Each structure stands twice: as structure tokens, then as C-alpha cells.
Chains A and B, each alone.
Chain A
Amino acid sequence: QVQLVQSGAEVKKPGASVKVSCKASGYTFTGYYIHWVRQAPGQGLEWMGWVNPDTGTTKYAQKFQGRVTMTRDTPITTGYMQLSRLTSDDTAVYYCARIQRGGSGLDPWGQGTLVTVSS
């Protein structure tokens, strides 16, 4: 079945970087964009950006421009989201999700990766 499996929880110090992976299976990896979404504790969902697994093209939310990098490794059908210069405000669960071709539905979602930023 179509599935996205993310890497495990991370604890980082302020100023560090984190890289979260998203392993896709059950479909043609290069056929669907991967979006990244985060959710801080007790807060709502926040869109971060997307990567086109076929071309590597990316689009980032303005808020994260210059601090986020989304990449993919096509042979191993895995997407990555790297966030640098972390602060405590970046403590959140980070999700990857596949978006429908030509549509607006994010499905499926990864299980989420908790990133904790603490000194």
C-alpha cells in the first residue's frame, strides 16, 4: 500500500540543523510532489513547502526561505527536509505528505517526526 515512513525523533540544540527523512513506498515516487507540514505543541498545522521528486524543484513558504532545504534521493525513494539555525520555536512535529496529481488532497501522511530544540 502507499506509505510514507519518517525518521525518528530528534533533540537538537539552538543554532543547530536537523534533517528529517521520508521514505516512500507503494507508488511511483517521481509521480507525486511531497509536501512538508509542521505542528508546534498545541498549535495548528503550518505548511512549509514542497519538493518535486522527479526534477528536484522546490517551493518554500516565505517564512522558511533561507533556512529550509527540501531534497530527494530518487533511487531510494526518500525525501528530506533540512531546517537550519534552529530555535525553541522550531520545536514541533514535522510531517511529510504526498499530494494528489493535479489536486489538493494530501494523502497519505507520514507518521510525523518530533523535533525538540532545547539547550
Chain B
Amino acid sequence: QSALTQPRSVSGSPGQSVTISCTGTSSDVGGYHYVSWYQEHPGKAPKVMIYDVSKRPSGVPDRFSGSKSGNTASLTISGLQAEDEADYYCFSYTGTYTSWVFGGGTKLTVL
């Protein structure tokens, strides 16, 4: 199972918005509502920011939002803050082998 496609890096200035894409196929991202997003800071375990495409766990700022169109899911972070600088990964169920797959990861730099 190939990893979902994410941009290697994105950047933005404090206060701006950035969007990270996650492209798969109709067998994974496009076929199910089971896409989640994770934030990972160096040396720390990943933390879920969005689940089921667009739901936000309690405690996650509403600056983080998720959406999906066709075979591409997106994570948007508005009002960028310095602490948002991290790696972000998407994660989707795939019906190909009834399994799950991560995206390759995106490094967000806050300028």
C-alpha cells in the first residue's frame, strides 16, 4: 500500500493561514469518511488534530479544520502561531486491503 501524497513542506507567517493536502484514491481518502490528521513535534508522540475528515477533538483549537473533496483531504490552520510549527500527517482507512495508511508527512514552518 503506497503512502498518501502530501507536500514535503509548507510555510506561513504568524497570523496567516496554510492548507496541507493529502491525496489518495477512491479506495482510501475518496471512498471513506475515515481520514484523520496528526501533529508531531520533535521527540514527542503524534497528537490527533482532526478525525473523521472534519471533526475536532476537545482541546484542539478551532484554528484547525479539516475537509475533503474527491480523493483529496485537507487540513487548514488559520491564525498561524509559532507553536504550530511541526510535522503533520494524514491517515486514512483503505478498502484495498481493509487496512490503514499514512501520508508521507508535511513539515510546517512558521516564518
* Chain A residues with a Cβ under 8 A of chain B: 35, 37, 44-47, 49-50, 59-63, 95, 97, 100, 103-107, 109-112
* Interface class of chain B by DSSP: strand
Whether the Cβ atoms of B34 and A104 lie closer than 8 Å is: yes
**Whole-angstrom distance between the Cβ of B107 and the nearest chain A Cβ:** 10
Query: Which residues of chain B are near A109, meaning CB under 8 Å?
Result: 45-47
Query: Which residues of chain A are near B64, meaning CB under 8 Å?
Result: none
Whether the Cβ atoms of A100 and B45 lie closer than 8 Å is: no
Whether the Cβ atoms of A112 and B102 lie closer than 8 Å is: no
Whether the Cβ atoms of A105 and B100 lie closer than 8 Å is: no
**Bound Cα distance A61, B3 (Å):** 12
Closest to B49 in A: A105
- What are 22 A-B pairs with beta-carbon distances under 8 A? A37-B102, A44-B3, A44-B87, A44-B102, A44-B103, A45-B38, A45-B89, A47-B99, A49-B99, A63-B1, A103-B55, A104-B33, A104-B35, A104-B52, A104-B93, A105-B55, A105-B57, A106-B36, A106-B46, A107-B47, A109-B46, A109-B47
* Chain B residues with a Cβ under 8 A of chain A: 1, 3, 33-36, 38, 40, 45-48, 51-52, 55, 57, 87, 89, 91-93, 97-105
Query: Which residues of chain B are near A100, meaning CB under 8 Å?
Result: 51
Contact of B38 among A46, A50, A106, A112 (CB under 8 A): A106
Contact A104 B36, CB 8 Å, known A47-B91, A62-B97, A109-B45: yes
Query: Which residues of chain A are near B38, meaning CB under 8 Å?
Result: 45, 106
Closest to A61 in B: B99
Query: Which residues of chain A are near B36, meaning CB under 8 Å?
Result: 104-106
Whether the Cβ atoms of B102 and A47 lie closer than 8 Å is: yes
**Bound Cα distance A50, B91 (Å):** 14
**Bound Cα distance A27, B102 (Å):** 26
Whether the Cβ atoms of A47 and B100 lie closer than 8 Å is: yes
**Bound Cα distance A95, B40 (Å):** 13
Whether the Cβ atoms of A44 and B45 lie closer than 8 Å is: no
Query: Which residues of chain B are near A59, meaning CB under 8 Å?
Result: 98-99
**Bound Cα distance A44, B35 (Å):** 17
Whether the Cβ atoms of A107 and B1 lie closer than 8 Å is: no
